[in-house]
Amino acid sequence: MEPRLTAGLRVAALLRRMDLTGRPAYVVRRGDDTAGALAVTVLRPGGKVELWVQDYDPLADSRAWLHETTGAPRDIDATLARRGARDPDLWVIELELPQDADPRDLLD
């Protein structure tokens, strides 16, 4: 098993990358600094929100970012509230990106 960066460090790196691009990013929910899972919401022009989550493959010992859904902000918030109730260590980060930007370019 390869050593991994802590969740807090990964969030700090993401916020710094967003700062360098001149785009806003916010910590909406703070999870466990060491081992918390990350979920990222991406606000697009026009008001739609994308939810990106990490999927872990234990056989490959790797993580991949997956686009889970796109919807209205209230629907994404409800999804994250349910997920947060099950996982108190969950981090939620909000990014504001233009329509053509791929969030995976900024995510680890």
pLDDT tens-digit map of 31-45: 999 988 999 999 999
Taking alpha carbons only, the member of 75, 28, 68 closest to residue 52 is: 68
Contact present, 31 and 7 (Cβ < 8 Å): yes
Q: Which two tokens stand for residue 9?
A: 């460090």
pLDDT tens-digit map of 49-107: 999 998 877 887 778 899 999 999 999 999 999 999 999 999 999 999 999 999 999 98
d(CA 58, CA 34): 19
d(CA 95, CA 23): 8
Q: What is the pLDDT of residue 1?
A: 54
Contact present, 103 and 97 (Cβ < 8 Å): yes
